[in-house]
Structures are given as C-alpha cells and as structure tokens.
Amino acid sequence: MAGSLVFFPVANGDMTLITLDNGQTILIDIKIRAAADDEDDDTYDVASDLKDRLKTDSEHRLYVDSFLLSHPDQDHITGLENHFYLGPPADYPKDSGLIFIREMWSSPLVFRRASTQHVLCADAKAWAKEARRRVQKFKDDKCATPDGDRILIMGKDKDGKTDDIMDIVIEQGGLLTSANRGSSGQFTGRLLAPMLVAEDDELVALLEKNNSSVIINFSLTGGGNADKCRFLTGGDAGVAIWERLWQNHNDSDPDWFTYDIMQAPHHCSWRTLSYDRWSEMGEKVKVCEDARSALGQAKFGATIVASCKPILKEDSDPPHERAKREYVSILKPDTVKGEFICTSEYTNANDRALEFNVTFSGVSKKLRAAAAAAATVGVSAVASSARGHG
Amino acid sequence: MSAGKLELVRHAEHLLRVVQLHPQVRAAELAVADLDECRVALVFEVEMPFDVKARGLSATGVRACEEVEIVIRAGYPWRSPTIYLRQDFPRDLPHLQPSSLDALPRPCLVDGSQDEFFSHFALMESGIIGLLEQLASWLANAAVDSLINPAQGWEPALRGGLADTLIVDSEFLEAEASENGGWTSYRTYYLHSLGSKKGLGVSTFLEAGIEIANLSSKTDKTLFQSQQLQKINGISGTSVMAFITPDPDEDGKPRINDQYLPETVINLTQLHVRAKALGCGRHFREFMEALVKNWTNYQFETAVPITVIFAARRPFHLIGSVSSLEHLPYLFEIYPRPGRRTLWDEPGDDIVKPTRLLSKATPQLFRKLSPITSPAPTAMIGAGSVGSKAALHLARAGVSVTAVTDTLVLMPHNMVRHALVRPALTSGKAEELANELKVLGQKPAVCFEDAVEQLRTPEGRLSLAPENTERVLNSTASLLVREALSIVPKDAFPPRVSEVALFGRGEGAFLLQEGAARNPTIADLLTEMSAHATSAERNLLFNPEHGLTEVQIGQGCGSLTMPMTDARLSAMTAAATEILLDQKPGQKSGTYAIGHRLAGDPSTHWRTVEVGPFVEVAVEGRDGWQVRISPSVDRRIREEVALYPHVETGGLLIGTTSARCQTITVVDILPAPEDSRRTAGLFELGTKGLKTAIRSRHRSSGGSLFDVGTWHSHLADMGPSGLDRKTAAQLAAERPPPSVLLIITPNRYHALVHPNV
C-alpha cells in the first residue's frame, strides 16, 4: 500500500485529503463553492474529485473515516450541508450521494474563540450541532458508538467543560494514533494547538484575535514504513500562536515542528509571519523570528504548499507575496533545497489537484494519470470558450 | 531535400511541438534531422522522493533531470517512436531492452507491443504524450528501485523482441534443476533461416526435447544432423542444448543470484564471464570441453547452432510463477570446417546472442493462461463432436485429460462438426482425439470399448477412468451410459460424474454434475431438470420437431443426428464446458445447468440450479429397488404433513422408473383430489380430476414424467398396514410398471411395492 495527500484547489481556503497506508481517509476542512458545483462554471469541481477518491461502505454510502475541521471559518467549511450527511446514521437518506462522516475531529475551544470574533456561517453551525449530537451520544453510549456517531475532541475546553468526556479528548501536545478507531501504525498526529491557557485575559484575547485553529503535525506511514512523511497543517493560526508554540516547545520538542510538507497557514498570509502591517510599513516590516522558526523546520527536499489563489505582488492579503518570499527563503538553503507550490497555480497548469504519494521510499509528487494526456494535447480546448464562426 | 526527408522532418517538428507540452519536459530540441532518422533530445524531469530530488541523483543512478532521446524512423507514425536513455544510464536495472554496451539503453515502457500502444490513441498527439507518461512512470520507478516489486515477483530479463527463439519444457527443466550445480545436454531440433530477399532476417528457431544428448558417445551419429531447405532458404537439423545450474554458494546453500545483470553478452568470451558471474562458470567450461571433444574427428559443411541456458535462482519468485528460477538462454554457433584449428576460426564465429525463451505447449502453461477454478483431471466418455470439443476446451485450459473412450471410427460425415479435421481413412475417434491431445502435452489413455460394459468390471472401470482421474465427463447422450454411471457404486468408481448434452437441434444444452457420494446422480438430475424446466426449455427438450432426425449421409446409410451448424454446436458446448471449469472445488451438492438460445438471437440464457442429495428409501418387497425422493419433494411432503398433524394425508408421486437401475425417482407430487378422505387412521386418495391432472403433468413433461405411485402419512412410527399392502396389490394388478406406496412417519419413510409384479 501507499498513502497520499491531496490539496484540492479551492482558491483561498483549505481542503486536504490524507489517505493512509491502509486506505483509510482523513479529510481536513472543505471549501466546496456553488461555482465548483456548477458544471458550466470553470471553477475546479472539487466535490466530484473528492467523491471519486472516497470509498463506499456496505450500505452504498461514500464515507470519510475522519473529518477534521481546523476552525469554523467559511473558507474551511463551505459545502458541508450540501455534500455531507449530518445526523443519526440510521436516518441516512438512501442514494442521496451525501458523504458519511464516520468520525468527526472537532475543537469546541476553537469554536468558542471564533464565535467571539464573528457570527458563524450556517455550515459551521450545522457542524457544531452535529458535534454536540455526537458528544451526547458518547455520553449515552460511551465507547460503543458506531461509525457516524463518533467524535474526537481536539484539545480540552475551558472551565472543565470536557472533563467528563476525557476518553475522546486529545490534549494539547498529545498524540492521535488512529482514524475512526482503525489500525494504529498508519500515522501519528501531534496536536500542537489549540492551546488552553489559564485565565489570562490578555493572552486569551490575543489568541482569539489570532484565528485560533487546530494545528497538527502528522507523521505518515508509507509502504508499511513509519514516518515517511511529516505533514504540518495549522488552518489559519496567526503569528502569536506560532510564536508562542515555538517558545513553549523549542527546547524540549523541536522535532514537533519538522516537516516534509507544510501547508502555509492562512493561505500564505503575512499575518502568520509578522506583527507588522504591510499596508503601513511596506518592505520595512519585520518577520517574527520565533514564528518563522516554528514554520521553518523544513526537512531536506521539503515542499511548502500555499492553498490560495495565484500569488500576485499587488494583490490583497492573503495570499501575500512577501510571505511567499519568506517561505521560499526557508526552502532555499542547501540543507533544504525544497519547493514552494501554490495550489491554484498548480491546478491552472496541470488541470488537476496537487497530489503527493507516500511510499516506502518517501514522499514524492504524484505523476498524473494517463487520462490527463488528452488534456495536455488540447482535447476539449475548443470548448473552453465561445468561439465566433463568421 | 527529398520529399521523404521533408516528410520525416515535418513529423519530427510536430513531435517536438507536442513533447514540449508535457509538464516534465524541461527542454527539447531537434538534434538530428536525417533522411532515415530524426532525433528529438529532451531534458526530462523525474519525479522522486523529496530528499532524493533535492540531492539530484537517486541511489540507483537516476538523475533528477534525465537526458532522453526520442527517435523516429521511416514508417512513423505507423510505427512508434523509440525512446533511448543516455549512454551511461545504469544498465543493471530490470525493464531495459537487451542490447550491447555500445547501443543506447532502451527502457521497456509498455506491456506488449509499443507500436500497438502508440497507435491505440485516437490522436497521434495523445500517443506521444502517452509514451512520455510511461517514461515518467518508468523513470520514477527506476529512481527508487521499484521496477521490480517483490510482492509482484522478479521480472525476468526482457527477451520478447529478440530474433532467435528457443522453445523448452520449462516445468521439466525446473524439476531437473539441481541445487548442487551441474550441466545436462538435451537433444534439440532447429530451423535456421538464412534470410530472404523479401526482408525476412536471419533467425533460428530451436526446440529442446527432454531426451538427454550424450556428448561423449562414440557411436551416436544422430546428435548433429543437418539438411538444406530450399523453400525457406534455410537449414534444419538436430543439435544440443546445455542446461546449466550454478554451484552452491560458499556455505553450501543453493546459490541466489539477486543481481540484475544487463543483457549485454555478445561473444563467447563474455559468455564465459557471464557464466562465472552466475556461478555456472565451471559447468559451462566442462560443457564446452565436451562439445569440442565430441567434434574432434568430425567436420560439417554448415554451422551448427548450440544453445545454453543458465538457471539463475532469484531471491523471490518470478512474476506470474511460483518458481524463483530464471532461465537465461543464449545461442552461438560452431563451425566444424574441414582443416580447421578450432570450432571458431574466423572472426565473428564466436558471436553469442540472447534468445527469446518460449514454453512448450503444456497443461501447466495453459493453466497460467486460462483462469479456471476446477482443474480436476478429467476422463472423457464419448469423443464425438460435443466430446471432442469439450476435451479440447479442457486441455487448453490446462486440465489433464486422463482417458478418452469411444467405440466409433471417425467418418467423413463427422467432419461437419467434429473438433478434428481428418482425411477419410482414419482410426477410432478416441485414438484420433488422444493424438490431438498429445500435441497439447497430454497423455490420455484410449479405450474403444463400450462404456456400459466397461463399468461392470474393475479393469474396465480403470480403462474408462485411470487412477488419478477426479472427474468423468459423459458426452454420449446415451441413456444407457447415463444410467450405468448413476448406479455404479462410488467406492468402485470414485470420479465425480458429469454429463454434457445438446438438445433441440443445438438450441439448448445442459450440463449435469452429480453430488458428492454420487447423490444426486446424473440420472436424478436429469429427471429433476425435466420436472422444473421452463416452457421454453420444455419445448426444446421434448418437442419431436426439435429432436433427433434421420439424415442421409450416403446411399442407404442413415445417421441419427440433429441437424445444426458447427458454430451452434461449438457455442453451446463451449458454454457448458465453461460452467464445468467453474465448478467450485469441494462442492457437495449436485447441479444442473441448462441453457437455451433466445429466439432470433445468438444470445443464450443459462441457469444453474443446485440440487441437494435425494432421500434414498429401500423398497420393501423388491430386493435391490430404491425410491429416490428429490429434496424439493421431501420438503413439500413434510410441509403438507405439518398441515395435518392429527389426520393422515397424502397425494400422488410423479417421476420416472428405471428397471435397469431398479429405481423409482420422485421429482414432483400432485395434491390429493378434493374427494380424498383424511382421518386419524386412514387416508383415502380420491379420484376427482386425478386422471386429468396426471395426463396433463405427463404431457407437460414431454412424456418423460408419469405417476409412479402414491404417498401418505402415518401419525406414529409404524410401517405399512394391512390395508396398505392390499392397496399395493391392487395397484400392481392394475398396471405392469411398478407403483410405489410411500409412507412417511414422524421419523422416516417406508416404501412398498407389491412383489408379484
């Protein structure tokens, strides 16, 4: 077997699918826009691509084993109600084509912080409702919960709200070892954030403003060999969070930050790397060294993936061209010699999602399927725009 | 510039334009534009694991950016472009075409013909990109040394495109391979074509036998022979092949050759080096010495081809094989000229060429090529048109055909549908079929005797089905043979019995496969099938219009046969044989499969029905007689009894009777007429409408099924009563065929037939 990592092109937003060595799947965030569902719109049809990659269970339901929501912003959860089934497994509408979520990975703390900043979108509210249903189900049935009722909580909630369900809570710094109670040895996931801090109002306010997100450093097994790919993903987590993580763990656990693939946080935004405002200071801005260190532990040959629209110098943040330069500088030294890839730019050039294979020999970019050959030579190019015929 | 050149250069320029579209092509240019050849040079980016890519060079020697040449020659685009790698590309990788060290290495990009692959794309452009995709994947695998996947197996060196061919019995050589090392020479037959003006090149075909060639013999003059063949401008003759296995390694264990050696041997010196590298050096030297010594006092006008095979034991099994022995065959020639000093006096005499290696037609080879679930060794009873075709289907699927039985001689009119094509005067069908099967590596016994007679004696049974036979396929369509095969005791005749037959002028066919312990028998199955045939099947099975017809095959010589085309017979026989080949191993129940052609359409519809064992009840009053009750009738009787727990009930039995088999087979029941009486001590079968019901059932079965007796229940475990015996006597007096009185009690059946009939 081999594992894989797919970064779907969703412009500014995240949508990532991990397929483990044993075939199980972990989906991280989604952004399935109405335009992508419209077959006459040229927006990449991520929903179909995702569904083509998922397996079907004995009841003919497409499913993901685990679904992690990094944080409840619209560009990370759009399309949930349209494409996923939420509710008791027994009530799944037959032949609906909705994706069945065997196990949710959710963080009430991140939700709490997000809701202090803005009103949650309908998809986010639907996620929260389903998460509450599953937590209640766990309280009722304990570990006997079946597929579709399961949930893991990413990080303790404040005020001891999760103390009675610690069996399903992964604490900050703790390790995820299986997806939907599947076989272990397929991956480990170090939960770096959210951080629960004591009642330090200033710090809480800072974290709330910094787009608190679930941050996990995955170590994936390939071809039966452990740790063949480190994948660091952290939603929209901002500079203060990365700075603080580095300060807290740099001495004791520097290994927690190393990666072969990192998803540049917040769609390659400048606010991940610096407290300075570009709009006010321009090229005089300073990078926060600790945040850069947290994001700079690239292994030899590593790739940084920016899940965003094409990166242009004059465009609004995110993505930010200065941030891209910083990431490229992380990858440049002879000790790294890595590659920076923007998902939208990649898909525009290749007409498919960016994908990596994780095998016994390590992680490499996946070669295209032969079917793509037709697109390369220009089949269907005639139909790509309206053409006058006088 | 000639038109021809313009054409090729135009193609090359187009090729250049297309390859530049590929995302992994970093640079491309037209390097050579000649009359007969154009070369496009590429820099191709290889996908590798991150760390390997950053380093720029893989452990196997593949670069992150590889230089590649795409070459087109005359014939393009009817022929695929050829893709070459750089001169110093590592050659110790599998999936490289064999070539000398001077030639550019050529990766094997597709399974099968690259020309076919290239041209199967509708657009030529897609063909070019398709080849580059294969190259991308080849190089990516080469970079991480996964061109060979241990789970899939060791990839043998590629030899498919070589000019010379050696045919061997691979399984035989496999069995002969010694773990201690050694060499053995075998007689070979060869055909050497010297080439013709029409462009056919020089090539040699050799077939190695399994007969040992004794090189030290002073008297054997048959080892080396040759004769000119004017027609093909060639030479045929006999020679030898040496099969050489390596010496054990230093620990005395069988030597494992886990290094992939590029196929670059071109002369005898290099062949010696290769033999040594494989651990075969000593034995190869000994063989060559014996060969030279054998020729000391002889001379020949022509060159003689000699082949050697080195057996390399690989660390794991070869792809598509359980064996880990890879056979590496080479061909060279000796020149025993008059007045020579050695056998290789002239320059170029010592050329060595690797050859293609093909496996002889053996059941083992066929089995690899035919996925079947049931390779049980099978004896054929009947070698007529259906039997001969079924036998060839079985043999070609790798099933061992252990014996062929038929009493008849192959006649001219048989040629209309028989699998064999023979001149007028031949021998028996069985012998002719057996001869044909021998060509397919089979060794069937032949029996000309009548199968029914043969089944009576132990020797006869062995001649029908030799010891290792696991299955018998009866294709005689003879009722007598079917019955004889149904009553022969299992321990006296252990193979599982099947029968294939066509009906309705080839519009229908059935396959019967008896159950374990000969229950149900094929006779049971046919009766059961008759009882449950659909109306379409019944029409074909029983309508005389579709039955056997007398056809004139010569003046005054009729032949009872069904007129149909050979194609129809083949279609039905092939489908039935396929079902036989798919039989689940270890299946306990019997099955019947029945198929018929849909009206006006070549499609056939088949259905397969599993039938459990029949209930066997010994008949009181008739020694040796038996009532055989089908599982469905047994179930229906018990259901009916359950409906009347406090009174006796009963009905009429439908089936067949065979005096030869001494069996009454029950496959259906008719309900008791409405004027029947049911009390606690008595069941009286009424008469109202009964005759009509029986006649109708008889008609609907095409006259094959009739009333064979009655059944009724007893509330307690008691056998036939006085009244039952009286009724049996009455029944016996009324008609000659035996009528059974079947009684079901809570724990068992009783069967009674009046003894006086």
Which of A337, A363, A367 minimises the CB distance to B49? A363
- Are B512 and B525 in contact by the 8 Å Cβ rule? The answer is yes
Rounded Cα distance, B62 and B137, in Å: 13
For residues B440-458, average pLDDT: 95
Give SS3 for B739.
coil
Q: Does B23 touch chain A (CB under 8 A)?
A: yes
Chain A interface, best mutation among B17, B50, B125, B138, by max A CB count within 10 A:
B50
Which of A350, A366, A377 minimises the CB distance to B129? A377
pLDDT at residue B542 in the model: 78
pLDDT of A329 above 50: yes
Cβ pair B133:A260 closer than 8 A? no
Rounded Cα distance, A69 and A193, in Å: 13
Our CA angle for A78, A81, A84, nearest 5°, is 100
The values of phi and psi at residue B397, to 5°, are: -90, 5
pLDDT tens string B103-161: 899 998 887 778 888 887 778 888 898 899 889 989 998 998 877 677 777 878 778 77
Our CA angle for B543, B545, B547, nearest 5°, is 75
pLDDT tens string B344-396: 999 989 999 999 999 888 888 888 888 887 789 999 999 999 999 999 999 99
Cβ pair B52:A301 closer than 8 A? yes
How close does chain A come to B740, measured CA to CA in Å? 52
pLDDT at residue B165 in the model: 94
As to burial, measured by CB atoms within 10 angstroms (0-12 exposed, 13-18 middle, 19+ buried), residue A79 is: buried
pLDDT of B464 above 60: yes
Q: Three-class SS string for chain A?
A: CCEEEEECCCCCCCCEEEECCCCCEEEECEECCHHHHCCCCCCCCHHHHHHHHCEECCCCCEEEEEEECCCCCHHHHECHHHHEECCCHHHCCCCCCCEEEEEEEECHHHHHHHHHHCCCCHHHHHHHHHHHHHHHHHHHHHHHCCCCCEEEEECCCHHHCCHHHHHHEECCCCEECCCCCCCCCCEEEEEEECCCCCCCHHHHHHHHHCCCCCEEEEEEEECCEEEEEEEEECCCCCHHHHHHHHHHHCCCCHHHHCEEEEECHHHHCHHHCCCCCHHHHHHHCCCCHHHHHHHCCEEEEEEEEECCCCCCCCCCCCCCHHHHHHHHHHHCCCCCCCEEEEHHHHHHHHCCCEEEEEECCEEEECCCCCCHHHHHCCCCCHHHCCCCCC
Which of A359, A373, A379 minimises the CB distance to B130? A373
For residues B30-38, average pLDDT: 90
**Chain A residue with the nearest C-alpha to that of B52:** A301
Q: A–B: how many Cβ contacts below 8 A?
A: 78
- Are A296 and A246 in contact by the 8 Å Cβ rule? The answer is no
* Residues of A at the B interface, defined by Cβ within 8 angstroms: 260, 299-303, 336-338, 349-350, 359, 361-368, 370, 372-374, 376-379
Q: Which residues have a Cβ under 8 Å from the Cβ of B32 and sit 6 or more positions away? A: B38, B39
pLDDT of B457 above 60: yes
Residues of A in contact with B50 (CB under 8 A): 260, 299-303, 338, 362-364
pLDDT at residue B375 in the model: 86
pLDDT tens string B585-632: 788 999 999 999 987 788 899 999 999 999 999 998 888 899 999 999
Assign A23 a pLDDT band (cuts: 50, 70, 90). very high
How close does chain B come to A382, measured CA to CA in Å? 15
pLDDT of B199 above 50: no
pLDDT of A51 above 60: yes
pLDDT at residue A351 in the model: 82
Chain B interface, best mutation among A305, A331, A332, A364, by max B CB count within 10 A:
A364
What is the average pLDDT value for chain A, to the nearest integer? 89
Which of B23, B53, B130 minimises the CB distance to A370? B130
Name the one residue in this structure whose structure tokens are 């009817």. Answer: B78
B69-78, B226-235, B415-424, B572-581: lowest mean pLDDT where? B226-235
Q: Does B435 touch chain A (CB under 8 A)?
A: no
pLDDT tens string B315-326: 888 887 778 889
Calculate the dihedral angle through the C-alpha atoms of B414, B420, B426, B430, rounding to the nearest 10 degrees. -90
Which of B47, B121, B129 minimises the CB distance to A367? B47
Q: Does B21 touch chain A (CB under 8 A)?
A: yes
Rounded Cα distance, B256 and B314, in Å: 6
How close does chain B come to A172, measured CA to CA in Å? 30
pLDDT of A158 above 90: no
Comparing CA positions, the residue from B306, B303, B354 lying closest to residue B330 is: B354
How close does chain B come to A311, measured CA to CA in Å? 20
Assign A370 a pLDDT band (cuts: 50, 70, 90). very low
A101-105, B357-361, B441-445: lowest mean pLDDT where? B357-361
The residues in B 541-570 lying below 8 A from A, measured between CB atoms, are none
The residues in B 110-129 lying below 8 A from A, measured between CB atoms, are 121, 123, 125-126, 128-129
Q: Count Cα atoms within 13 angstroms, Cβ side, for B645.
A: 1
Which of A338, A359, A376 minimises the CB distance to B21? A376
Write out the two tokens for A353. 């999602």
pLDDT tens string A244-303: 999 999 999 989 999 999 999 999 999 999 999 988 998 999 999 999 999 999 999 999
pLDDT at residue B553 in the model: 52
Strand order across the beta sheet in which B401-405 lies: B445-447, B401-405, B378-381, B471-474, B496-503, B508-513, B590-597, B604-611
Q: Does B52 touch chain A (CB under 8 A)?
A: yes
Residues of A in contact with B146 (CB under 8 A): 359, 361
Sign of the C-alpha dihedral computed for residues B93, B99, B102 and B108 taken in this order: negative
Quickly count: other Cβ atoms within 10 Å of residue A146's Cβ: 11
Assign B757 a pLDDT band (cuts: 50, 70, 90). very low
The amino acid at residue B545 is E
Quickly count: other Cβ atoms within 10 Å of residue A70's Cβ: 30
Cβ pair B140:A379 closer than 8 A? no
**Partners of B498 in beta bridges:** B473, B513
Assign B58 a pLDDT band (cuts: 50, 70, 90). very high
Rounded Cα distance, B177 and B172, in Å: 9
Assign A371 a pLDDT band (cuts: 50, 70, 90). very low
Chain B interface, best mutation among A365, A379, A380, A382, by max B CB count within 10 A:
A365
Comparing CA positions, the residue from A233, A231, A230 lying closest to residue A213 is: A233
Query: Which stretches of B406-524 are assigned E, i.e. beta strand?
Result: 445-447, 471-474, 496-503, 508-513
Q: Count Cα atoms within 13 angstroms, Cβ side, for B109.
A: 26
pLDDT at residue B546 in the model: 64
Q: Which residues have a Cβ under 8 Å from the Cβ of B165 and sit 6 or more positions away? A: B203, B204, B205, B206, B355, B356, B357, B358
Cβ pair A376:B123 closer than 8 A? no
Quickly count: other Cβ atoms within 10 Å of residue B178's Cβ: 16
- Are A270 and A320 in contact by the 8 Å Cβ rule? The answer is yes
Cβ pair B54:A338 closer than 8 A? yes
Cα dist from A386 to A349, A381, B37, B718, whole Å: 21, 11, 41, 92
pLDDT at residue B624 in the model: 87
Residues of B in contact with A303 (CB under 8 A): 50
pTM of the model: 0.67
Rounded Cα distance, B581 and B594, in Å: 15
As to burial, measured by CB atoms within 10 angstroms (0-12 exposed, 13-18 middle, 19+ buried), residue A20 is: buried
Residues of B in contact with A351 (CB under 8 A): none
Q: Does B237 touch chain A (CB under 8 A)?
A: no
ipTM of the complex: 0.84
For residues A328-353, average pLDDT: 93
pLDDT tens string B678-712: 999 899 999 898 888 988 888 888 778 888 999 99
pLDDT at residue B549 in the model: 52
Assign A231 a pLDDT band (cuts: 50, 70, 90). very high
**Partners of A261 in beta bridges:** A231, A303
Residues of A in contact with B111 (CB under 8 A): none
Query: Which run of H or E residues covers position B139?
Result: helix B124-143
First to last CA, chain A: 55
Cβ pair A363:B48 closer than 8 A? no
Residue of higher predicted confidence among B200 and A47 = A47
Cβ pair B137:A365 closer than 8 A? no
Cβ pair A364:B133 closer than 8 A? no
**Chain B residue with the nearest C-alpha to that of A369:** B133
How close does chain B come to A390, measured CA to CA in Å? 28
**From the centroid of its chain, how far is CA B221?**
39
Concatenating the DSSP letter of every residue in B692-728 gives HHHHHHHHHTTT--EEEEEEEE-SSS----HHHHHHH
Cβ pair A364:B136 closer than 8 A? no
pLDDT of B163 above 70: yes
Which of A338, A349, A374 minimises the CB distance to B23? A349
Cβ pair A373:B140 closer than 8 A? no
Cβ pair B144:A361 closer than 8 A? yes
For residues B41-47, average pLDDT: 95
- Are A130 and A138 in contact by the 8 Å Cβ rule? The answer is no
Q: Does B373 touch chain A (CB under 8 A)?
A: no
Cα dist from B9 to A118, B31, B73, whole Å: 65, 11, 10
**Chain B residue with the nearest C-alpha to that of A364:** B49
Query: Is the bond preceding B105 in cis, omega lying within 30 degrees of 0?
Result: no
Rounded Cα distance, B292 and B341, in Å: 11
Which of A301, A349, A379 minimises the CB distance to B50? A301
